[in-house]
Amino acid sequence: MSFLVVDHVSKFFPGHAGGGDVCIFKDVTLKVDKGEFVTVIGHSGCGKSTLLNIIAGLETLSEGGVILNGREVSGPGLDRMVVFQNFALMPWMTVFENIALAVRSAYPDWDQAQVVAHVHKYIALVGLKGAEDKRPIALSGGMKQRVGLARAFSIEPKVLLLDEPFAQIDALTRGVIQEELVQMWNATRNTVFMVTHDVDEAILLSDRIMLMTNGPSSRIAEIVDVTIPRPRSRDTVIEHPHYYKIRNHVIHFLVRHAAHGVASERGVQRESPAAAPLVVRF
Ligand SMILES: Nc1ncnc2c1ncn2[C@@H]1O[C@H](COP(=O)(O)OP(=O)(O)O)[C@@H](O)[C@H]1O
Ligand SMILES: [Mg+2]
């Protein structure tokens, strides 16, 4: 039994007036092991955020179920923590207070000294020492997202859900924070489910990359096993002989699905809507 199971999940949204429901994705099944880092890549609008929000319990599903550690997910909970691309910090609270708020709600029995020590540990892990008393307005986008990541990791949830957390961050800073995320994940070995459209980011971070077709009726068509050994860093990972094979494979998938668009997805649907994803191992 896997740690996190997305079991035959479909999602429909009501269509425009007069039209029927729109199928965002159909029959998505995926299994994530404890401590695994998986990413989902697909074109904009294919349903990645909807899938992540269903796992978070923030969005309802139309068919199927999500099972975490043997229990069905039926709403949001502290066992799943989401990091959004727009940071979602409390603007009137300092860096310290934003993280402490989450820690106190996750560990209501802890005394003040335990909370303070725990918050400082995660502030140090994301390189925010010295910025504890700043409010979000005084922080750059990169620093705000460091707070978001520290807050999410600090409550040590069963699953961390990251929805394109670096989308709003400039390319240079993004690289630095990706490395910090690698280090934080190495230190904690949390289970992570991450949405991205950055192929290099996915290879650096993932044990497995799930490739999603375009909507409507999108599906996870392929799963790429990334066997490049850990620990990884941005410098060393590109030296590995598999790196460009994986990169080319993923980019080809994305180009293929960008070119064919909706019509080809109708074709895919007719063929075999519930075909199991192709597993590709590098
Ligand atoms: N609340 C909603 N009602 C209707 N359609 C929605 C809603 N939320 C998302 N969608 C549609 O579902 C599709 C997938 O959206 P989303 O999951 O945000 O895609 P992604 O994150 O892959 O870019 C899009 O076509 C979007 O317009
Ligand atoms: Mg999205």
State if residue 216 touches ligand 1 by the CB under 6 angstroms criterion: no
- Work out the mean pLDDT of the chain and round it to a whole number: 91
CA 83 from centre of chain: 8
Encode pLDDT of 87-123 as tens digits. Answer: 889 999 999 999 999 999 999 999 999 999 999 999 9
Rg (the chain; Cα; Å): 19
Compute the distance from residue 140 Cα to the ligand 1 centre, in Å. 28
Encode pLDDT of 164-200 as tens digits. Answer: 999 989 988 999 999 999 988 988 899 999 999 899 9
Q: Is residue 156 part of a domain?
A: no
Note the helical H segments in the chain.
Answer: 48-56, 95-106, 112-125, 141-154, 171-188, 199-205, 234-237, 243-271
State if residue 53 touches ligand 1 by the CB under 6 angstroms criterion: no
State if residue 13 touches ligand 1 by the CB under 6 angstroms criterion: yes
Listed as own residue / partner, the contacts of 88-92 with beta carbons closer than 8 Å and 24 or more positions apart are: 88/148, 89/136, 89/144, 89/147, 89/148, 89/151, 90/136, 91/135, 91/136, 91/137, 92/135
Compute the distance from residue 130 Cα to the ligand 2 centre, in Å. 33
- In this prediction, residue 200 carries a pLDDT of 95
- In this prediction, residue 151 carries a pLDDT of 94
Q: Is residue 21 part of a domain?
A: yes
Encode pLDDT of 127-162 as tens digits. Answer: 999 999 999 999 999 999 999 999 999 999 999 999
Q: Read off the tokens for 118.
A: 């725990």
- In this prediction, residue 197 carries a pLDDT of 87
Compute the distance from residue 32 Cα to the ligand 1 centre, in Å. 23
Domain of 238 in residue numbering reads as 4-79+207-281
Vertex 149: Cα angle to 52 and 72 (nearest 5): 35
Protein residue with least CA distance to atom 26, ligand 1: 45
State if residue 47 touches ligand 1 by the CB under 6 angstroms criterion: yes
State if residue 46 touches ligand 1 by the CB under 6 angstroms criterion: yes
State if residue 48 touches ligand 1 by the CB under 6 angstroms criterion: yes
- In this prediction, residue 124 carries a pLDDT of 93
Q: Is residue 230 part of a domain?
A: yes
Please give the share of the chain, as a percent, with pLDDT higher than 90. Answer: 80
* Distance between first and last Cα of the chain: 25
Protein residue with least CA distance to atom 14, ligand 1: 47
Secondary structure, 3-state, 48-60? HHHHHHHHHCCCC
Atom of ligand 1 nearest to the CA of 195: 21
Say how far apart CA 138 and CA 122 lie, in whole Å: 20
171-188 helix and 141-154 helix, angle to the nearest 10 degrees: 10
Say how far apart CA 227 and CA 250 lie, in whole Å: 15
Beta-carbon contacts of residue 115 (< 8 Å; ≥ 6 apart): 100, 103, 104, 107
Encode pLDDT of 131-140 as tens digits. Answer: 999 999 999 9
Q: Is residue 247 part of a domain?
A: yes
Q: Is residue 175 part of a domain?
A: no
What's the pTM value of the predicted model, to 2 decimals?
A: 0.92
State if residue 49 touches ligand 1 by the CB under 6 angstroms criterion: yes
- In this prediction, residue 88 carries a pLDDT of 87
Ion ligand 2: residue ranges with CB closer than 5 A = 49
Residue 259's pLDDT band, with cuts at 50, 70 and 90, is low
Number of structural domains found in the chain: 1
- In this prediction, residue 269 carries a pLDDT of 44
Q: What is the dihedral of CA 46, 67, 196, 172, to 10 degrees?
A: 160
Q: Is residue 229 part of a domain?
A: yes
Q: Is residue 257 part of a domain?
A: yes
Its sign, for the CA torsion 157, 109, 150, 51, is: positive
- In this prediction, residue 258 carries a pLDDT of 77
Q: Is residue 178 part of a domain?
A: no
Residue 1's pLDDT band, with cuts at 50, 70 and 90, is confident
Over residues 261-276, the mean pLDDT reads 51
